[in-house]
Amino acid sequence: MAAKPLQQEIKKKQPFEWPEQEAILNILRTGDQFQNRFGRLFRQYGLTSSQYNVLRILRGEGRPMPCLEIAERMIQVVPAITGLIDRLELQELVARNRATDDRRVVYIELTPKAVRVLGDLDGPVQDLNRTLIGHLTARELKELSHLLEKARQGMPEET
């Protein structure tokens, strides 16, 4: 597989003037491409990336969670969660339970069907992980994660 620097990949005539710009574009482009790949995998199982994320978060937590807590762990804004849960509920992958102590909060719970689907996806997801970045060494992966974590520390607060 030939080397394909971003500059050539997007057919940019001029070299990047600023390393910040180049890094940002690389992050955005890589994120988009990987997102697309996972989206296609999940679609084979009748799920979108967002839906899978909700299910994965719920399984990781191991207990029913309020909508807001789920929204916090995804990048997304709160209102998006409602529709997301709606569609998952239609597919009978989650159930809503209004809390008795604070009747404003709605707890979301995985159904056994969802646990089964998640289990079916574990193998393919890990396979895709390896397909996408299995050619990087353990040291490179660690360095990449480290740099991205450091990059996110520059995010201004207010979101």
Which residues make up the interface to a second copy (CB under 8 A)? Answer: 1, 3-6, 9-14, 18-24, 26-38, 57, 60-62, 73, 75, 126, 129-136, 138, 140-145, 147-156, 159
Asked if 93 contacts 114 with a C-beta cutoff of 8 angstroms, the reply is yes
143 binds, among a second copy, DNA, none (CB under 5 to 8 A by kind): a second copy
Q: Which helix (H) or strand (E) holds 110?
A: strand 106-110
Asked if 31 contacts 133 with a C-beta cutoff of 8 angstroms, the reply is no
Q: Does 81 contact DNA by CB under 7 A?
A: yes
Asked if 107 contacts 101 with a C-beta cutoff of 8 angstroms, the reply is no
Please provide the distance, in angstroms rounded to a whole number, between the alpha carbons at the two ends of the chain.
40
Chain positions 1 to 30 lying near DNA, rule: CB under 7 A, are none
Q: Does 156 contact DNA by CB under 7 A?
A: no
Size of the site for DNA (CB under 7 A): 33
Q: How far is CA 47 from CA 28, 41, 82, 99, 135, in A?
A: 23, 9, 16, 27, 27
Q: How far is CA 108 from CA 46, 63, 65, 68, in A?
A: 20, 9, 5, 10
Given 55, 58, 85, 121, the residue binding DNA (CB under 7 A): 85
Q: Does 86 contact DNA by CB under 7 A?
A: yes
Residues 27-66, one symbol each (x = binds DNA by CB under 7 A, - = not), give: ---------x--xx--x----xxxx--------------x
Q: Which helix (H) or strand (E) holds 2?
A: none
Q: Does 147 contact DNA by CB under 7 A?
A: no
Q: Which stretch binds DNA (CB under 7 A): 16-24, 71-79, 123-131, 148-156?
A: 71-79
Task: Point out which residues bind DNA (CB under 7 A).
Answer: 36, 39-40, 43, 48-51, 66-69, 75-87, 96, 101-107
